[in-house]
Structure 1
Amino acid sequence: MSLLLERWLPWLADLLQLGGPVLGLILVIAFTMWVLLFERLFYLFAEFPRELERAERHWRSRRERTSWFAAQDRKAVTGYLGSRLGKNFSLIATLIKVCPLLGLLGTVIGMLEVFDALAATGSNNPRSMAAGVSKATVSTLAGMVVAIVGLLAHSLSERRAAAVRQGLEARFTQFEDRDHA
């Protein structure tokens, strides 16, 4: 583990210096986005099946399942489970949308540094402009990469959660069909 840190920490520090403070903010947002995405996937595949089993046990323990009261109970349970499935997806989507905008902000800041270097030196010396150009390109690249990868992961996980959410009502009405048979 320490060898891994020794190898990656200097590289990350160089990258942050190269990209400027906007890149640091993009990396913080990327970390937050991935923590939320992994939490959603953990919930979907580890916690939700247990919650669903408890809800189905509760539903099967009802004496009757066809009255208005039973329908209200079923709607409450499926609504609760459905809302738990959709938790944090809007926040993740917002973080994804912010990343390219921050990349654009880094581009503008980097280009301002280029123009400042041009004004200070009075020439088009490439060395004086290199820092600004690197900030412009690195932050743009980081914002776009985080947004694209995040968008793919978000889309797949949200689609899976939506499919599970759609099947909730059918799972609970199947018990009614068995009762009538």
Structure 2
Amino acid sequence: MEKILSFFDQGGSLLWAILAVSMLMWTLIIERYWFFYFQLPQLQAELLGQWRNRSPSRRMSEQRLKHSLIARYLAQALRGLKAVDVLTNILPLLGLLGTVSGMIKVFEVINVFGAGNARGMAAGISEALITTMAGLITALSGYFFAANLEFRARSAHEQFNTFLTDR
């Protein structure tokens, strides 16, 4: 625990912001996987039940019902993915902000003590590099899982659409 706190101390206050944003992003990602594995099959069964119980006498309302069911299915499958995308795009920017903040500290040390204070400059450089690394690593993992979740949503949508069309 002491090493973790030391790491966050070296990374500066923006590292805590990166942690908070990445935790929110991961919460949304985990929720989406939970949805795909446990709730999407229930939603699909519910919507298919509505499709099977439709009135066979009205052709036009059948098309509207089909489009409504498909739109509802897609909206549920894509829910929350925009937020994951936004958070994933914010993370490298927070890392870049940490880089700028760390470099400003380096220039302040140079301004006050001159270029001979290596220890003082190292703290700013450390902050710059740690926040950049943290922002990029969390963003890269977010990009991967966001793309995977979007692929799952589109595939599930196509499968559901095909299932309704074949019936």
TM-score of the alignment, normalized to the shorter chain, above 0.5:
yes
Aligned: 1:121 with 2:113: yes
Q: 2-side partners of 1:170 and 1:122: how far apart?
A: 70
Shift, 1:65, TM fit: 7.4
1:17/1:66 CA distance change after superposition, 3 Å: same
The CA deviation string for residues 131-153 of structure 1, in whole angstroms up to 9 with x for no partner, is 10110000000011011111111
1:131/1:64 CA distance change after superposition, 3 Å: same
Tell me if structure 2 keeps the 8 A contact 1:110–1:132: yes
Which residue in 1 is equivalent to 2:157? 165
1:93/1:57 CA distance change after superposition, 3 Å: same
Give the letter aligned to residue 142 of structure 1.
A
Q: TM-score, normalised by structure 2?
A: 0.95
Give runs of ≥4 in structure 1 deviating > 4 Å. none
Q: 2-side partners of 1:133 and 1:144: how far apart?
A: 17
Which residue in 1 is equivalent to 2:19? 27
Aligned: 1:46 with 2:41: no
Q: TM-score, normalised by structure 1?
A: 0.88
Please identify, of 59-68 and 20-29, the stretch whose mean Cα deviation from structure 2 is larger. Answer: 59-68
Which residue in 1 is equivalent to 2:135? 143
Q: How does 1:1-181 map to 2 (within 5 A)?
A: 9-64=1-56, 67-175=59-167
Shift, 1:59, TM fit: 1.2
Determine what percentage of the aligned residue pairs are the same residue.
28
Could you list the runs of 5+ residues in structure 1 that have no partner in the other structure? 1-8, 176-181
Tell me if structure 2 keeps the 8 A contact 1:65–1:71: no
